Amino acid sequence: METRVSSFTKEVIIGDDQPTVLIGERINPAGKKKLSEALMEDNLEIVGREALAQAEAGADILDVNVSTFGVDEVALLSEHSHELSAMPYVG
């Protein structure tokens, strides 16, 4: 069995006969005041920097969490997931 995860520019295959997939999980506002504030202000600058850092460190996939007080998580994630996956250094 295989699972395929794709962006505009990249496809990652997860399966028993595939290489290990590295998942970056640092885009999570829990305990990160600056990231929480940026999400409340609809500012993706910090998210973009963290996405780039994880991609440069070898992450194949990014787990993006936008759950913080005062934001519509569904709308925020929906709105920005396309922007993040289209970033040339990430997607």
**Residue 10: band (very low, low, confident or very high) from pLDDT cuts 50, 70, 90:** confident
Give the pLDDT confidence score for residue 32 in this predicted structure.
92
Q: What is the pLDDT of residues 13-70, one digit of tens each?
A: 999 999 999 999 999 999 899 999 988 888 888 888 888 899 899 999 988 888 888 8
Query: Is residue 50 assigned to a domain?
Result: yes
Query: Is residue 91 assigned to a domain?
Result: no
Our count of domains for the chain comes to 1
The residue with tokens 């993040």 is 84
Give the pLDDT confidence score for residue 88 in this predicted structure.
63
Least confident window among 3-7, 19-23, 77-81: 77-81
Query: Is residue 77 assigned to a domain?
Result: yes
Residues 6 or more apart whose CB falls under 8 angstroms from that of 27 comprise 35, 47, 50, 51, 54, 62, 63, 64, 65
Q: Are 6 and 12 in contact (CB under 8 A)?
A: yes
Measured CA to CA, the distance from residue 80 to residue 17 in angstroms comes to 32
pTM of the model: 0.78
Relative to beta strand 61-64, strand 2-6 is unpaired
